[in-house]
Amino acid sequence: MTAATSTLARAGVGPARIEAELLLAHVLGVSRGGLALAGPVTPAQQERLRDLVDRRARHEPLQHLLGTAAFRYLELAVGPGVFIPRPETELLAGWGVEQARRSVDSGGGLVVDLCSGSGAIALAVAAEVPGTRVIAVERAAPALDWLRRNAADRAAAGDRPVEVVAGDVTDPELLADLAGRVDVLLCNPPYVPDGTAVPAEVAEHDPAEAVFGGPDGLAVIRPVLDRAARLLRPGGALGIEHDDTHGTAVPELLRADGRFVRIADRPDLVGRPRFSTARRADAGS
Ligand SMILES: C[S@@+](CC[C@H](N)C(=O)[O-])C[C@H]1O[C@@H](n2cnc3c(N)ncnc32)[C@H](O)[C@@H]1O
């Protein structure tokens, strides 16, 4: 464990001790908390741990090595071809859960997650709010494979099945049959401005189309706001994550659109602007 921790620390990967423990727990097939009770490590397990530590030291994401990412109450399958869900997105998902709960309580519960990736937001809402109908939209074929796998796993675990739609959120006809009927629309789009320096884990292992959002980072957000205005029912709730440099730009886009009210921006746990929320105005307002 000391050698693994030192290798990760030297590579600038961290928190090194915790990551080394998580990798060892993965090799031994126990939880990190169960390490203290685990038996001796066999030579084959030591070899496997060394291999994983070396890969992590070369900045392969921890979640790819473990095969899973934690998101709220879920463990999602992730790997090459899909964006690893981030802790900060749990806030948007949590806000979406609250909105979905209120909607179900008042007889609704139709939730759409655009740019769904692994399905993190959609599956969290479906797991935490019984009575919802959740639709997850994703364009990239590799991400769709992970999304379908996670959706099937959660349905097998007893959650209400999430409906997966292969679609492009820039398509004005997307989900046209649901126009004016959606209660809650959530989206974590690609939003990093093109050319921004990102860590090796992101540059080499997250799909570029999941991360970069055009020259100003708003290329996907702009059409998504139009999709939201068309799909949401009057009073329906929108929550959209954005780059921490866009805490003013996204609310301004919402105001300029003219079809949204109660526009607000919300910070993440370290106080950076993280997602915007709004309500669809009543028709005619
Ligand atoms: C930042 S990731 C978010 C994934 C997931 N919602 C999450 O929070 O972990 C953005 C996702 O949007 C997808 N995407 C990018 N452009 C898209 C488009 N035009 N239509 C549909 N999906 C798109 C990417 O493939 C990627 O899976």
pLDDT digits (tens, 9 = 90+) for 262-271: 999 999 989 9
Q: How many angstroms separate the Cα of 169 from the Cα of each of 173, 191, 229?
A: 9, 14, 13
Cα of 223 vs centre of ligand 1, distance in Å, is 13
State which of 72, 83, 118, 205 you would mutate to test the pocket of ligand 1, scoring each by most atoms of that ligand within 8 A of its C-beta. Answer: 83
Tokens of 8: 């990760």
Q: List, in order of start, the domains of the chain with CATH numbers.
A: 2-58 (1.10.8), 82-280 (3.40.50.150)
* pLDDT attached to residue 40: 87
Pocket of ligand 1 (CB under 6 A): 83, 85, 89, 115-118, 120-121, 137-140, 143, 168-170, 188-190, 207, 209-210, 220
pLDDT for the residue 2: 85
Instruction: Say what the pLDDT of residue 283 is.
Output: 66
- Angle, in degrees to the nearest 10, between helices 2-10 and 16-28: 130
- The residues that bridge with 124 in the sheet, in sequence order, are none
Res 135: pLDDT? 98
pLDDT, tens digit, 9 for 90 and up, residues 143-195: 999 999 999 999 999 999 999 999 999 999 999 999 999 999 999 999 999 99
Distance CA 276, CA 36 (A): 43
- Sites in the chain below the pLDDT cut of 50: 285
pLDDT (0 to 100) of residue 285? 47
- pLDDT at position 65 is 97
pLDDT of 267: 96
- Which pLDDT score is estimated for 101? 98
- Could you give the 3-state DSSP secondary structure of residue 128? helix
**pTM across the whole model:** 0.96
Amino acid at 21: E
Closest Cα partner for 120 from 101, 136, 141? 136
| Residues 165/113, Cβ–Cβ less than 8 Å | no
What single-letter amino acid sits at 102?
R
